[in-house]
């Protein structure tokens, strides 16, 4: 089951059927245990009207939630970070956090700074080495239970982080540095560990990077990451957590203005964003 926040209202898809849900506040709709059963129960009721609409104008599937991110959860990310930090002498921190019991978790974005399907992600004007990070993104409700998934792009400035890991918030947090969407995927059971995630970057119509991997390559479990996030913090509306990247373009690659980044996750769909710079 998928739910799309759109300009027409909330559209739910189940198998091949589409339903327009009665006007429901997004925060209220998604923040519940048993979200799948709740949505299923709406089918056939007056609260869900069967429609023919195609959810083309989806908004980011977020309202009052914060977006957090986990890092160095895949071997590939550990290697890439160690390489970019080798001149700063900080490479060891990435090796340590990959092995440590406590994961790396950092604040990524407010809803207002994030964009959704078809939106414009940004690269910083003061960075020279920028990449998208395709990440399976969890939605955990206020009880800390994972009830939905979406696709995330954790845009990152590798030269800023590589210069000094204390610059991480500047490398990761700026306007339009996070994209999530196109929908919330609400399965009956946790997402399959063999799920594939892929990314394609194109420039002037030509593919400049493509890669695919399964999320079962991740070193940590989803419940472990959410458990750490909720240890000393509460999220009254639930929270999104990007789970880390496993697809890193080669070191000589950096994003350019107008590049198109498409991230697909089996069962969820595709999130496509155009790369832009802040207006001068
Ligand atoms: O350690 C810095 C950030 C790591 C990250 O964003 C990732 O592994 O996806
Ligand atoms: Mg990341």
pLDDT tens, position by position, 152-191:
999 999 999 999 999 999 999 999 999 999 999 999 999 9
Residue that the structure tokens 């506040």 belong to = 25
* Nearest Cα residue to atom 6 of ligand 1: 71
pTM above 0.85, yes or no: yes
- Whole-number Å distance, alpha carbon 244 to ligand 2 midpoint, is 4
Q: Is 157's C-beta closer than 6 angstroms to any atom of ligand 1?
A: no
Three-state DSSP at 229 gives: helix
Indicate whether 139 pLDDT > 80. Answer: yes
Note the residue count of the chain: 280
For residue 55, which of 6, 125, 91 has the smallest C-alpha distance? 6
> Packing angle between helix 91-99 and helix 75-84, nearest 10 degrees?
160
* Nearest Cα residue to atom 3 of ligand 1: 71
Q: Is 84's C-beta closer than 6 angstroms to any atom of ligand 1?
A: no
Give dist(CA 110, CA 78) in Å, integer.
26
Residue that the structure tokens 């950092």 belong to = 106
Beta strand 114-115 with 178-185: parallel, antiparallel or unpaired?
parallel
Give dist(CA 60, CA 39) in Å, integer.
19
Q: Considering every ligand atom, which ligand is closest to the CA of 218? A: 1
From residue 51, alpha-carbon distances to 1, 14, 25, 58, 76 in Å are: 15, 12, 20, 16, 43
Q: Is 132's C-beta closer than 6 angstroms to any atom of ligand 1?
A: no
Q: Considering every ligand atom, which ligand is closest to the CA of 71? A: 1
Dihedral class, residue 44 (left if φ above 0, else alpha if ψ from -120 to 50, else beta): left
| Mean pLDDT estimate for the chain | 95
Q: Is 162's C-beta closer than 6 angstroms to any atom of ligand 1?
A: no
The residues, any chain, with a CB within 8 Å of residue 195's CB and separated by 6 or more, are 136, 214, 215, 216, 265, 266, 267
Give dist(CA 220, CA 172) in Å, integer.
21
Give dist(CA 278, CA 76) in Å, integer.
30
Three-state DSSP at 131 gives: strand
Give dist(CA 199, CA 212) in Å, integer.
7
Q: How many CB atoms neighbour CB 73 within 10 A? A: 28
* Nearest Cα residue to atom 2 of ligand 1: 71
Q: Is 70's C-beta closer than 6 angstroms to any atom of ligand 1?
A: no
Indicate whether 77 pLDDT > 90. Answer: no
Give dist(CA 251, CA 131) in Å, integer.
10
Task: Kindly indicate the confidence band of residue 201, based on its pLDDT and cuts at 50, 70 and 90.
Answer: very high
Indicate whether 55 pLDDT > 70. Answer: no
- Whole-number Å distance, alpha carbon 95 to ligand 1 midpoint, is 12
Q: Is 158's C-beta closer than 6 angstroms to any atom of ligand 1?
A: no
Indicate whether 54 pLDDT > 80. Answer: no
Give the domains, in start order, of the chain with CATH numbers.
2-50 (no CATH), 66-276 (3.90.850.10)
Q: Which atom of ligand 1 is nearest to the CA of 73?
A: 8
Residue that the structure tokens 């999130």 belong to = 271
């Amino acid at each position: 089951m998928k739910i799309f926040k759109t300009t027409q209202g909330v559209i739910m898809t189940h198998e091949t059927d589409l339903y327009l849900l009665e006007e429901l506040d997004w925060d209220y709709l998604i923040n519940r245990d048993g979200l799948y059963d709740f949505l299923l129960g709406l089918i056939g009721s007056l609260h869900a009207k069967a429609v023919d609409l195609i959810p083309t104008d989806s908004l980011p599937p977020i309202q009052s939630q914060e977006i957090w991110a986990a890092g160095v959860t895949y071997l590939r990310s550990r290697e890439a970070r160690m390489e970019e930090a080798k001149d700063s002498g900080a490479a060891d921190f990435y090796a340590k956090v990959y092995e440590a019991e406590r994961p790396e978790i950092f604040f990524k974005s407010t809803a207002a700074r994030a964009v959704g399907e078809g939106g414009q992600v940004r690269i910083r004007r003061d960075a020279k080495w920028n990449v998208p990070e395709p990440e399976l993104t969890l939605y955990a409700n206020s009880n800390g239970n994972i009830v939905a998934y979406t696709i995330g792009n954790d845009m990152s400035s590798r030269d800023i982080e590589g210069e000094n890991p204390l610059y991480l918030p500047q490398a990761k947090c700026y306007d339009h540095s996070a994209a999530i969407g196109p929908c919330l995927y609400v399965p009956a059971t946790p997402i399959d560990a063999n799920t594939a995630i892929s990314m394609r970057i194109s420039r002037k119509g030509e593919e400049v990077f493509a890669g695919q991997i399964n999320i079962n390559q991740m070193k940590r479990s989803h419940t472990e990451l959410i458990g750490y996030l909720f240890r000393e913090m509460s999220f009254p509306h639930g929270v999104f957590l990007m789970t880390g990247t496993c697809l890193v373009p080669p070191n000589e690659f950096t994003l350019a203005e107008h590049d198109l980044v498409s991230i697909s996750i089996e069962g969820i769909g595709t999130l496509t964003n155009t790369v832009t710079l802040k207006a001068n």
